[in-house]
Amino acid sequence: MTFGNRLRAAMDDRGPLCAGIDPHPSLLAEWGLADSVDGLERFALAAAEALAPVVAAVKPQSAFFERFGSRGIGVLERVLEVSREAGAVVVLDVKRGDIGSTAQGYADAYLDPRSPLAADAITASPYLGFGSLTPMLDTARTHGAGVFVLALTSNKEGPEVQWARGADGASVAGHVLSELRRLNAGQPGLGSFGAVVGATIGGDPADRGEDLAINGPLLVPGFGAQGGTVDDLRRIFGSVRHQVLASSSRAILRAGPDGTALADAARRTAEEMGGMLG
């Protein structure tokens, strides 16, 4: 089964929520844990064990594991394993972007099932040119994995690049979305190549000619603690809201460290999103 169809089945079964696993130092402190490898391990595994059985997808943020070096990466490998065994689709948030053999190296690390860091999908940056992602896209296609490409992000610096227009009048984000639409064309069900579109982006993408109908999933961070609301999801996504995989991290993780409370927070969030996005 392709990544897109696996994700569609998971969203239909568990709701359209992607639970972020972000072992930020401030969250470790809120859980009463030290900012150490031990604290990282206790936090991340507890989150994965509580959330992965109840949500469609989990999204570990690689940076918070990488900062502890090889031991942190070892914890990330265990989080990936635990999450997959619990039935969640795993989106590894790495935002990689490079060229040639280096891009292929990233693809082999994160998308080849023989790698201990393999996930169902990764996030990727297209700002060395969309074609620079070809090794990742081809490797994902070979192994039935997925790639979420940054298109319209919520950070305040994003518009200076993403809203910029080329000689053809199209915005950079519009070009990214057009390429994803091309890659997903003709795919049965949900395509495997998605876009990252923030829940708190300013303005209306349609007013800028940015068509979000890409026949692929739309990973939407920023819901919850970062300010994204149900009304924002309605405003931005409209007729393509059934393709939205909305991501929430801090708003759910702050319910911990109790596993039951974490799972309940995720279920409530998924139900709220499902009622709007269905």
Which positions are annotated as active-site residues? 95
Residue 4's nearest CA partner among 176, 117, 121, 95 is 121
Measured CA to CA, the distance from residue 271 to residue 259 in angstroms comes to 18
Give the three-state DSSP class for 41: helix
- Nearest Cα residue to 68 out of 41, 90, 106, 105: 41
**Closest of 149, 155, 142, 146 to residue 174, by C-alpha:** 149
Structure tokens at 115: 């790698």
Report yes or no: 52 and 78 within 8 Å, Cβ to Cβ: no
